[in-house]
Structure 1
Amino acid sequence: MELPRYEKFRSSKNNEYYFRLRSKGNGEIILASEGYSTSQARDNGINSVRINSPFEEQYERKQNNDSYTFVLKAKNGEPIGRSESYTSSQARENGIDAVKRDAPGAIAVEV
Structure 2
Amino acid sequence: MKRLLLLAALLPFTVLAQPLNVTNNPNQPGYIIPSQQRMQNQMQSQQIQQQGMLNQQVQNQSQMQQQRLQSQLNNNQQRVIDLQPGQQMLPNSNGGMLNGGGSSGQQHMLPQN
Q: Please indicate the TM-score interval, normalised by the length of the shorter structure.
A: under 0.3
Larger fraction in helix: 2
User: What TM-score do you get using the length of structure 2 for normalisation?
Assistant: 0.21
User: What TM-score do you get using the length of structure 1 for normalisation?
Assistant: 0.21
Higher RCO, 1 or 2 (CA under 8 Å, sep at least 6)?
1
